[in-house]
Amino acid sequence: MSSKIKKIGVLTSGGDSPGMNAAIRSVVRTCAYMEVDCVAIYRGYQGMIEGHFEPMNARSVNNIINKGGTILKSARCDDFRSKEGRKKAYDQLRAAGIDAFVVIGGDGSFTGAITFNAEFNFPVMGIPGTIDNDIFGTNYTLGFDTALNTVVDAIDKIRDTASSHNRLFFVEVMGRDVGHIALNAGVGAGAEEILIPEENLGLERLLESLKRSKASGKSSSIVIVAEGDKTGKNVFELKEYVEKHIPIYDVRVSVLGHMQRGGTPTCFDRVLASRMGVKAVEALLKGKTNLMVGIQNNKITLTEISEAIKGHTKIDKELIRVSDIMTV
């Protein structure tokens, strides 16, 4: 390989997600396969600024493909938002002989990477690691599939107790700006209603739907609520609202919280991470930069990071229709 790049850094940054370890493993092993050096950068951009590096070889990443979280740790780093902070990071990378880096993270981490590239002409490549699945240029982000399975599993368990007591459960799932987790897990777990940030289905419609459920003889009901839903009420307020308007309902609330970010990655996320890591290293060695690896129509693709971070991916309207039909 005639590439000028001889040493590649890898870091995880921003919110963690299952599958990050599988992506680290893939980057490290692809470097070994291509016979270029690989260096771990710990604690995201914070570790970059502090020079918290460690050489990696193919054996450094044994037995991590099945682990949630990230062995490199992740961090938010305000210093990297300033030019002085980024200059410190650049000096540390140069001192360690690192020629390029792969950052596994979300849109904030990607913004940091291309800003860094613009200032120092330093090659950077992104792998989308976030459970929210909200990044342009990829049908799936790392961790989304695992998070969905975690949520569906939790809702299945909640339904067991809900149906034993004829209860209505409001289950809050992650998703401040996008409702991909709520909508997909809601359909997968057979939720009666799904409240997402993209659409205001309205409180009237919620009450109508719950009344219909009751009248049709359903013994339990599950309503999935994304954190950022547009009804203007949080899950606890929704519970009070429904209890006030339909007193026959015995309502409970369950907030799933950070469990959605953890756990063993699914096979889908492990395979995706492995494919993305290979592509990221290969692209850097071909002299490419400022790109994000994605998957589109089951093909591994490269998208300009500037495009990938432009906004949030749109909710699948057809899936909303499917959900409506399923809850007839």
Contacting residues toward ligand ADP, per CB under 6 A: 13-15, 45, 76-77, 80-81, 105-109, 111-112, 115, 130
User: Among candidates 133, 79, 67, 145, which has minimal Cα distance to 106?
Assistant: 133
Residue number with CB closer to ligand ADP (43 or 270): 43
Residue number with CB closer to ligand ADP (35 or 78): 78
Are 142 and 104 in contact by the 8 Å Cβ rule? The answer is: yes
Residue number with CB closer to ligand ADP (119 or 324): 119
User: Among candidates 1, 307, 29, 312, which has minimal Cα distance to 180?
Assistant: 312
Q: List Cα–Cα distances, 213 to 171, 225, 238, 246, 298, in angstroms.
A: 17, 18, 17, 12, 38
Q: How far is the CB of 172 from ligand ADP (least distance, A)?
A: 20
Q: How far is the CB of 3 from ligand ADP (least distance, A)?
A: 27
Q: Tell me whether residue 99 is one of the annotated catalytic residues.
A: no
Candidates 132, 145, 229, 269; catalytic one: 132
Residue number with CB closer to ligand ADP (45 or 136): 45
DSSP helix/strand/coil, 96: coil
- Residues 240 and 251: their CA atoms lie apart, in Å, by 8
Residue number with CB closer to ligand ADP (103 or 283): 103
Strand partners, 292: 126, 303
Helix residue ranges, H only, 60-138 = 83-95, 107-120
Are 263 and 131 in contact by the 8 Å Cβ rule? The answer is: no
Q: How far is the CB of 48 from ligand ADP (least distance, A)?
A: 9
Q: How far is the CB of 20 from ligand ADP (least distance, A)?
A: 11
Q: How far is the CB of 168 from ligand ADP (least distance, A)?
A: 34
Residue nearest to ligand ADP (CB): 108
DSSP state of 129: B
Residue number with CB closer to ligand ADP (221 or 303): 303
Locus of tokens 């949080």? 234
Q: What is the DSSP string of 29-80?
A: HHHHHHT-EEEEE-SHHHHHHHT-EEEE-GGGGTT-TT-SS-TT-----GGG
Are 63 and 92 in contact by the 8 Å Cβ rule? The answer is: no
C-alpha torsion angle, residues 98, 73, 281, 65 (rounded to 10)? 140
Q: How far is the CB of 185 from ligand ADP (least distance, A)?
A: 20
Residues assigned a catalytic role? 132
